Structure 1
Amino acid sequence: MEVVGIRFSLFYEHQLPRPWDDGQEQRLYRDALEQIEIADRVGFDHVWEVEHHFLEEYSHSSAPEVFLAAASQRTERIRLGHGIVQLPHQVNHPARVAERIATLDLVSGGRVDFGTGEASSGAELGGFGVKRADKRAQWQDAIDAITRMFVEKPFAGWDSPFLTMPPRNVIPKPVQRPHPPLWVACSRRETIHFAARNGIGALSFSFVEPEDAGVWVDEYYRLIESEECVPAGFAVNPNVAVVLPMMLHRDEAIAIDRGIDGAHFFGFALAHYYGNTPHDPGRTDVWRQFQERRAARGFSREQIIANARSLNVNVGSLRGAVGTPDQVAELIGRYEAVGVDHISFVLQAGPNRHEHICESLELFGSAVLPRFAEGREEREAAKAERLAPAIEAALARRAPAREVAAGYRIDESAEVARARRARRPSGVRPALATTRNELRESARRRALKAVHQFVGNRTDAQLERRFGAGAQRLFFAGMARAYDPSVKRGFQGELEFRLSRADGVTLAWTIAVCDGRARSRPGPAQRPALRISTGTADFLRALSGHTNPAALIMDGRLKLTGDTELAPRVSEMFGGPSPY
């Protein structure tokens, strides 16, 4: 991949570990605005602000459009990344999203980037009643409708399984034409491909080494330039961004002391809400759990020491870009060399202090940014010229803007009646369907809680003794019974689980998916699509949320063989605990 001019941004979750005191959230927002003013002055290109709901301590950022509007009035040039806007219709009505993005673009003078996502945490999906199996389809439906609201005058209306809306002129329109650049949140290789096929920027939230990121970049641009790219919007935004924790100081030990707890809390809290860890709203203390369990979850403080000539993002545990200006510049250069377009740095994380964040931003602006400025505009122009024919061909494949039928007039009674008909369920009785879904979800939560309590503080030997062949047989039979064919996404084949014990004994179990059913049996698979190999105790701790599966992989204690992209889907297919 050609070297491109790399750009830099700040990424905000608005993290606030417990304990809280009066006025702390207000100080958090005030400090963040001050940090963004510094970033604007020293030369950062973007600031990204997330949208999350109900994720205590991890993200107190539920109305990013308000925060970014405030930031727009305190800055002059930095672009405002609204990312990600959650697009399931129960969370945000598409017309309201289009209105907010356009308004923010107006008040900022055309500086908005429109980041989108499906939502993945159980707290958010369950809180808004979004079915996990529908969220990708809802994203595709919403992004198509929203981009049409930006360009159609008037919007010609919508009729889908998720949204019924009559023609309306959705105003205001954005400054940037046809609309602000589009991005989508990505956490896996498959979603990087999804971004490319939709012609939008990939905001990667996996903490990957530069060399691994280079593979993703090559695949992304291959798809952007292929016939598979059919833009989700009316413009193509070919960019790949990675996110890294960061803290700078000229003394490496001081940088680590100031920033590593924040970096580790970010990763720990992310796993807490996006894994299977039980959470009681208003009561679970994520910061306390982090302090007690960080090493077991793969965030060992002791493994990060000041002796690195070259930074690795993951070295025993997550480090990211925590170090000296020379170390961070060398890491950035490796990302730039493999074609990464943007790096977004997380400084406001965990207990990181405001004054240290401000010092890091000033130091980055004076000692790191100038090293990457020369020739950036020329390299970006060359990239745009190379991609221009592919982008033109991709946009030709996108269905054009529509026009409203002549003479259409607003008719409240008819439009409300049409919307009611669209919302009325057909086929299965609504009460029965709701009851079944609630029972399934309730059973899933009970299973998660039971596994969590079963593991507790037991030793490896205790877990191996209690989770023997008989208990494993029941467990995998239960997984097969919980199989949900509606989320298999075309998968048919065998999944093999190999669970080893300290005495050298390994038990293998197979779950076979075929013809809409799943069956479990003891023994290895003949041709496994995916083999998961780990220790019995590690398997249980990953299931229960006591251990981070990524840490087990990095330590070589969990091995995936075959189609590794299936791994994150195991939980979706079997509706319960899985190591992913």
Structure 2
Amino acid sequence: MKFGLLTEGDTPKGLTHYHRFHELLDEIKFAEDMGFDFWGTSEQHGLPTVAPISAPETLYAAVAMRTNRIKLRHMSILMLTFNHPVRIAERLATLDILSHGRVEFATARSNNPITLDTFGIEASETREQWREGLDATIRALTEDPFQYDGKYYKVKPMSVTPKLYRDKLFPVSVIASSKETFEMAGNAGLGVITNDSYLGWDWVEDGANTYKKAIKQAEPFAPYAVNNTLSFSTFTTNCDVTREKAIEKSAHVAKGFFSLCEMIYTGVEAKAGGQDSSYASGIGQIVTMAKHRDDIEYMSQHTPSVMVGTPDDIIEQVKKLQKLGYDEVIFRIDGFGHEQNKRAIELIGKYVIPEFKSPRSPVWENEYERDYGVTVPSNLL
């Protein structure tokens, strides 16, 4: 089991983006020190509080200069026509050089109606644009000379520079929010990063089964290696010494993120005119979950998108994901304030990650009691 940190620069009212971005750099370096395997952020537009990172390639360069070991995974680059494949390839190769080969690459077609409106993208065309954009980007990174003749991109023969630091292409993944995407990703040999959008554990299990079945007959559509990796990304993760403290310090983030998801579901479905089944099928469940938006403990039990509690609570949910076949868990730890963000990172690094990397180490069991003055979680004894 590998562990990732997702931070999107969540900036509460009253705090500037200047201060939040510099806090973010400190949190990422701290996550590296705490044993996280990889870090990433997503490309978002028009979300000034919850996710204001609109130029992730710039942030990744700053992170590369402040870290040494942790992998840098784009989660994710939008494969839409306003992001030209040649420009994406140039930026990825530059980061690969600066980070000494620590780049990983996840892609998406965007579920943000603000993004689609701003850049004039038809929701019904995003999947087709994603497929062609990814194909062209991979070829731009691996073929010299590179040329392309598609529906959205036409490139005459050219040499894309710089070249990658490494000899082989980095792992390639896609964000999946529907059964169709799980199946497509498996058939295409792509890794999957998913969340259940509050649809519950049955949905999480069904997605894993769909992907694991499809990946057995993978046929990549571009020159990349099969990446048989299934990752689950939370929407809200907060860890503290008691469940009550964790809930108290994260309730506003969990409720706010649910409201954002609700907006995305209804907004994209409206733009797609009922053609996007991945959103249409989830609207009913979102409406049901909206009745419980103030009950964070209920949400934590219903969906792994909300992991809020003690290290014991987090471990229990991660083990459920592991049993279902997930290879990685990505914790979105953001929006609680700089010190609480770091506290959650520290507790996960000290007591959750070691349960899967070096279980039942007497050193960190004793540290839990010594540092926090509470009983060691029962499953760590």
Fold similarity call, TM over 0.5: yes
Residue 169 of structure 2 aligns with which residue?
A: 179
Question: Partner amino acid for 2:2?
Answer: R
Relative distance call for 1:104 and 1:274 in structure 2 (3 A) is farther
Q: CA deviation at 1:264?
A: 2.0
Match for 2:258 among 260, 267, 291?
267
Which structure 2 residues correspond to residues 153-552 of structure 1 after superposition, within 5 A? 153-155=144-146, 157-206=147-196, 207=198, 209-210=200-201, 212-226=203-217, 229-244=219-234, 245-276=236-267, 297-301=290-294, 303-304=295-296, 312-314=301-303, 320-349=306-335, 352-374=336-358
Query: 1:210 touches 1:335 (CA, 8 Å); kept in 2?
Result: no
Q: What is the TM-score with the length of structure 2 in the denominator? A: 0.83
Q: CA deviation at 1:235?
A: 1.1
Work out the number of aligned pairs and report it.
339
Q: Please identify, of 161-170 and 186-195, the stretch whose mean Cα deviation from structure 2 is larger.
A: 186-195
Distance of 1:320 and 1:158 partners within structure 2 = 42
Normalized per residue, the structure richer in helix is 2
Q: CA deviation at 1:296?
A: 9.0
Match for 1:119 among 110, 113, 117?
110
Residue 69 of structure 2 aligns with which residue?
A: 77
Residue 6 of structure 2 aligns with which residue?
A: 11
Which structure 2 residues correspond to residues 92-171 of structure 1 after superposition, within 5 A? 92-155=83-146, 157-171=147-161
Residue 391 of structure 1 aligns with which residue?
A: none
Distance of 1:171 and 1:31 partners within structure 2 = 32
Q: Please identify, of 263-272 and 61-70, the stretch whose mean Cα deviation from structure 2 is larger.
A: 263-272
Q: CA deviation at 1:125?
A: 1.4
SS state of the match for residue 16, structure 1?
coil
Residue 19 of structure 2 aligns with which residue?
A: 27
Query: 1:213 touches 1:340 (CA, 8 Å); kept in 2?
Result: no
Q: Which has the higher contact order (CA 8 A, sep 6+)?
A: 2
Distance of 2:99 and 2:289 partners within structure 1 = 45
Deviations 1:140-185 (CA, angstroms, capped at 9, x unpaired): 1111111111111221x11122111111110112223431211111
1:68 aligns with 2:60: yes
Distance of 2:77 and 2:137 partners within structure 1 = 12
Unaligned stretches of 5+ residues in structure 1? 1-5, 278-293, 376-580
Relative distance call for 1:295 and 1:338 in structure 2 (3 A) is closer
Moved over 6 A (4+): none
SS state of the match for residue 184, structure 1?
strand
Q: CA deviation at 1:325?
A: 0.7
Relative distance call for 1:101 and 1:299 in structure 2 (3 A) is farther
Distance of 2:358 and 2:14 partners within structure 1 = 45
Residue 51 of structure 1 aligns with which residue?
A: 43
Query: 1:204 touches 1:242 (CA, 8 Å); kept in 2?
Result: yes
Query: 1:182 touches 1:233 (CA, 8 Å); kept in 2?
Result: no
Relative distance call for 1:153 and 1:304 in structure 2 (3 A) is closer
Distance of 1:146 and 1:304 partners within structure 2 = 41
Relative distance call for 1:296 and 1:267 in structure 2 (3 A) is closer
Q: CA deviation at 1:215?
A: 2.8
Query: 1:84 touches 1:116 (CA, 8 Å); kept in 2?
Result: yes
Q: CA deviation at 1:11?
A: 1.1
Relative distance call for 1:296 and 1:145 in structure 2 (3 A) is closer
Q: CA deviation at 1:238?
A: 1.0
Distance of 2:219 and 2:206 partners within structure 1 = 18
Query: 1:115 touches 1:183 (CA, 8 Å); kept in 2?
Result: yes
Relative distance call for 1:319 and 1:171 in structure 2 (3 A) is closer
SS state of the match for residue 330, structure 2?
strand
Distance of 2:338 and 2:222 partners within structure 1 = 39
Structure number with larger C-alpha Rg: 1
Distance of 1:304 and 1:87 partners within structure 2 = 34
Q: CA deviation at 1:136?
A: 1.3
Question: Partner amino acid for 1:297?
Answer: A
Deviations 1:464-502 (CA, angstroms, capped at 9, x unpaired): xxxxxxxxxxxxxxxxxxxxxxxxxxxxxxxxxxxxxxx
Relative distance call for 1:209 and 1:296 in structure 2 (3 A) is closer
Q: CA deviation at 1:209?
A: 4.6
SS state of the match for residue 73, structure 1?
helix
SS state of the match for residue 144, structure 2?
coil
Query: 1:223 touches 1:229 (CA, 8 Å); kept in 2?
Result: no
Query: 2:135 touches 2:221 (CA, 8 Å); kept in 1?
Result: no
Relative distance call for 1:262 and 1:202 in structure 2 (3 A) is same
Relative distance call for 1:111 and 1:298 in structure 2 (3 A) is farther
Query: 2:247 touches 2:308 (CA, 8 Å); kept in 1?
Result: yes
SS state of the match for residue 171, structure 1?
coil
Relative distance call for 1:266 and 1:162 in structure 2 (3 A) is same
Q: What is the TM-score with the length of structure 1 in the denominator? A: 0.55
Deviations 1:198-230 (CA, angstroms, capped at 9, x unpaired): 21111113246555423322221211112x633
CA-based RMSD of the aligned residues comes to 2.4
Q: Please identify, of 115-124 and 362-371, the stretch whose mean Cα deviation from structure 2 is larger.
A: 115-124
Q: CA deviation at 1:357?
A: 0.9
Distance of 1:300 and 1:324 partners within structure 2 = 20
Unaligned stretches of 5+ residues in structure 2? 269-286, 360-381
Q: CA deviation at 1:311?
A: 5.3
Query: 2:243 touches 2:310 (CA, 8 Å); kept in 1?
Result: yes
Which structure 2 residues correspond to residues 540-579 of structure 1 after superposition, within 5 A? none
SS state of the match for residue 57, structure 1?
coil
Question: Partner amino acid for 2:290?
Answer: R
Q: CA deviation at 1:56?
A: 3.2
